[in-house]
Structure formats: C-alpha cells, structure tokens
Structure 1
Amino acid sequence: MKHGIFYILPQALQKNNTFKYFTENFFCKLISEQWRSNKSILITCDTKEQAIKINQALWIYDNNTFLPHDLFEKNNKHTPILIYWREHYYDYQSRDILVNLMKKNMRFFFNFNEIIDFVPITNTLKVWARNRYKSYKKHGFKLNIIHVPIHE
C-alpha cells in the first residue's frame, strides 16, 4: 500500500528568526533517519537554487556524520540521496522514498510507495499543501499527519 506523511511545521516559529534554522535542521534529521533505515531518497525541489540550499544544509548538518547526497545529474543515479529540481527530466529510476519540497506534484510522484511532504506556515503555501494532499489521496495514498513539536 502507498503511504505518506505530512509534517505540519510549528506556527509559533513564524514570530522569530529561528524558523529557517529549525526547518533545515528538522529536514536534515529526517533525511538522515530515512537514509540510516537503508532507504534511497529522492528530494524534489522547485528550483535549482532551492536544491543547492538543501545540498548545503545536508553538508553541514552534522560534523560527525556523512550523508551521501548530490544534486541530480545523469551520472549520479546511484547516489543514495539525490536532490532533483523541476528543470530536469526525471528518468523514473526506482527510489524507496520521495521527500517533496515542490509546490505542485509531478506526475512521477505517484510511482512512489512512500512520500514525505510538509505543510509550511504561510497561508499561500498551505493552499499548495492542501492541493498536494488531495492529489495523493486521489492516487491511493494512505496519509498521516504529524505536528512537529518546537523542541525538535
């Protein structure tokens, strides 16, 4: 069965400057946990700039750990954690899990059996998240919602 998790990011962080650090740290922790569970991961981004920021965050996440990741290119298909952005054509290479950071679902998303997605704190981005949620449900995903505590 296909399943997914939507992580709802804490509203309280919107009021201070820790939101960026908190979300990057939470995201990297989540990716690290998935990789340590022997899962190959595709991270999808809307832009190359977003992909580069994710790449940099994964590099500096933990000085005592290496997360084998890279930006999407034709010659790195075997990298366990691959960061893709919209400008590329995805070749439907099998991966265990999709971590979605895009506003809109791509057609190839529905070939995955496991998806992780996020509900941001801004109202505009929440609308996009609701649309993705409906789309996953329509394609047979059983979805869970997890509220991320601030102390993560």
Structure 2
Amino acid sequence: MKRSTFYLLSQEFEQKNKPNCIERFACKLISTQWRSGKTILVTCEDKHQATKIDEILWTFDQNSFLPHNLFGKATHHTPIIIYWNQCCYDNQPKDLLINLMSKNMNFFLDFNEIIDFVPIPNILKKWARYRYRSYKKNGFQISVVNIPTE
C-alpha cells in the first residue's frame, strides 16, 4: 500500500531551530530512513535549497557519512539523491521520496512512500493541502505527525 506522512511544523519548532529548520529536520529524517536501509530522493524547491540540504548532510553527523549527491553528479548508485525543480528526473527507482517542493511533480505518484511537510505560512499550508488531496486521490494512506520541539 502507498503511504504518505505529513509532518506539521509548529511556530515553536521554527523559532527554536532557526535557520533552516525544515532542512535540518529533513536531514534528520534522511539519516534515520537511510540507516533503515532505504534509498531516498529528496526533492527541493530550487538549487539553493538543494545546496543547503547537501551542506547540512555533510556536517549532520560528525561520526558517520551519509552517502548523498546532488542530482546529475554521477548519482546512478548513490542511495541519497538531492533533486530540484529545474532538473529533469530520470525515474531512477528509490524507496522513499522526501518532498520539500510546494507543488507535486508527476513522478511523485510512482513512489510507494512519501514524506511531506506542512509549513507555517498560510500560502504554503494551502499548497500542502493540495499535495495531501493529490496523494489521497491516488490511493495513498496518509498520516499526520506533529514535529517534536525537542
């Protein structure tokens, strides 16, 4: 069964984890999911955000390496790929999609598992609702989780 998990960002979480709170939390999920054996595609809104994710992953865990690369840089066998909207995805199969984009891309529905986020600004919440409805319409079982403030 296809499934999607939406993480709700809170004002408290954002204030406590500035800057790059959503990117840092996404990297925590990337680390956890990769350690559980999954290959991952991280979709970013733009190259700037993709570069931020790349930089955070290099320094995220000082005791281990998370094998990742930006899309298009010899990524055929890399388990964590960071993609942004200006790229053309090659439909390389991955176990999990972690979505940081505001709009769904057509290939999203090819995944069996998607992690998504509900940001704080109202316009971004509106886009999250569209993504939610799209996943639901296409047979995804959806769960919603509050991000712990830690």
Would you say same fold, with TM above 0.5? yes
**Partners of 2:13 and 2:148 within 8 A in 1:** no
Q: Which amino acid aligns with 2:24?
A: N
- Where in structure 2 are the equivalents of 1:14-53 lying within 5 Å? 14=14, 16=15, 18-20=17-19, 22-53=21-52
* Distance (Å, rounded) in 2 between the aligned partners of 1:23 and 1:101: 8
Alignment deviations for residues 80-134 of structure 1 (CA, whole Å, 9 cap, x no partner): 0000011111111110000000000000000000000001111111111111101
1:146 alignment partner in structure 2:
145
1:110 alignment partner in structure 2:
109
Alignment deviations for residues 4-63 of structure 1 (CA, whole Å, 9 cap, x no partner): 10000122245x463335433322211101000110000001211110011001111111
* RMSD over aligned Cα atoms: 1.4
1:61 alignment partner in structure 2:
60
* Distance (Å, rounded) in 2 between the aligned partners of 1:75 and 1:30: 23
2:124 alignment partner in structure 1:
125
| Structure 2: runs of 5+ lacking an equivalent | none
Length-normalised TM-score, structure 1:
0.93
Identity %: 55
| Structure 1: runs of 5+ lacking an equivalent | none
1:100 alignment partner in structure 2:
99
2:10 alignment partner in structure 1:
10
**Following TM superposition, by how much is the alpha carbon of 1:70 offset from its aligned partner in structure 2, in angstroms?**
0.5
* Distance (Å, rounded) in 1 between the aligned partners of 2:127 and 2:106: 16
* Distance (Å, rounded) in 2 between the aligned partners of 1:135 and 1:145: 15
Q: Which amino acid aligns with 2:139?
A: G
* Distance (Å, rounded) in 2 between the aligned partners of 1:20 and 1:77: 31
